[in-house]
Structure formats: C-alpha cells, structure tokens
Amino acid sequence: MTSAEIRQSFLDFFREKQHTIVPSSSLLPDAPNLLFTNAGMNQFVPIFLAQQKPRWNPPRVADTQKCIRAGGKHNDLEDVGLDTYHHTFFEMLGNWSFGDYFKKEAIDWSWELLVERWKFPPQRLNAIGKRPGPAQPSSFAQKAYDHWPGFFREPDPHPVLQFLTLAKADIFWMSGPRSMRPCPMGSVLPPALRPPRWRPGAPAG
C-alpha cells in the first residue's frame, strides 16, 4: 500500500465506526508553550482538559495530523538518519474518543484494522503497556492488560508473546506536568521488526 492508500483506508475505516473526519490543524498551534504542532493530540488538548466540550455527535473523531519535531522537548532532529523511524516532518493518523468508547473498543478496532483489513501478520505484532515505577504520574494499564491476551492465544503458527510491560522511560511520554497535560498511554501495538528484548511480564506494583 502507498502512504496515500494507508491514509485513506484509515480514515474510511473509522468513518465506518461513526467517527467524524476532521482536518489536520495548523503546524503553528494556538498554544503558548508549543513552537510547532508536534502530535495529533495538540488540537484536542482543550477537550481533554475539560476547557471545551466536544462538538461532534457521537463524540469521536479521526484525523491525519501533520507534525514537526525539530525543537522543544520532543525534538527528533538529532536522531534523524540514525534509524528508520525518526523524522522532523511526518503525519500522525489518530482516532479519538471524548468520553465515548474506551480501551476495549480502541484495542478491538486497532486489531481489526491492522490484521483483518490491512492483512498485517499477527505474528509480528506486540501488545505493550506501561509499567510505572513508584510515585510516577501514571498507573498500570490493567484494562488493556486484561483485554489484549485474547488476541494472542491462537496457536497457528505460534504466538510471539502475550503482553509486554515496559518501564516508563521506555514507552511513556508527557507534554508537561501531569496537572497540565494529558499523558499517553495505556498500550500500543507496534510491529515486531526484530526479536523482542523484553519477555512477557506480569503487572508490577
């Protein structure tokens, strides 16, 4: 698939799931603490912070957001060229729920899109959740941990893993202090491009 086909397929999929498709916001955000739009969530921060109410019915949207990471806290400039996945200008495809659905639906639909529609080999997918340490501003992704293993029980040809838990430093990021900014994430579903360094683990703490 080309990038244009992936983008359109993503938007079509979530339109079928009753998401309103919204345009990419400006690369120059209306936010005093951001030089450039650096994440798909930027335009929705006022909703997540309860400063605005979502105007969509149902309150769920999907978008493809143009992003720049060339300065500030999330600066990928020094990493460009050292690997295949750091860029300074890129697009983020996102689906967003504002008090509507939660982790179960998000997990189900991510699997449906990747495996059933895009035919991505499930043996190359890892479900990963955060494992926060003491006094860290996050919690273990218990609901995701409970739901993901059902997708990794098929024996053919073999399950790569059930659910990995990584420390905050490996997987968690914040746009600012917890009291000011939303903090991702519950879990992610990245492709296994190489043998995993981490073994499946139980929740810590």
Strands (DSSP E) contained in the chain are 20-21, 60-68, 89-97, 128-131, 164-167, 187-188
How do the domains of the chain map onto residue ranges? 1-101, 109-205
Q: Give the domain 1-101 fold.
A: BirA Bifunctional Protein; domain 2 (3.30.930)
pLDDT attached to residue 130: 65
Q: What CA–CA distance (Å, rounded) separates 110 from 31?
A: 30
Q: Which of 57-61, 110-114, 143-147 has the lowest mean pLDDT?
A: 143-147
- pTM of the shown model: 0.77
Mean pLDDT computed over every residue of the chain: 77
pLDDT digits (tens, 9 = 90+) for 11-35: 999 999 999 999 999 999 988 878 8
pLDDT of 138 > 90? The answer is no
Residue 34's closest CA among 82, 68, 77?
A: 68
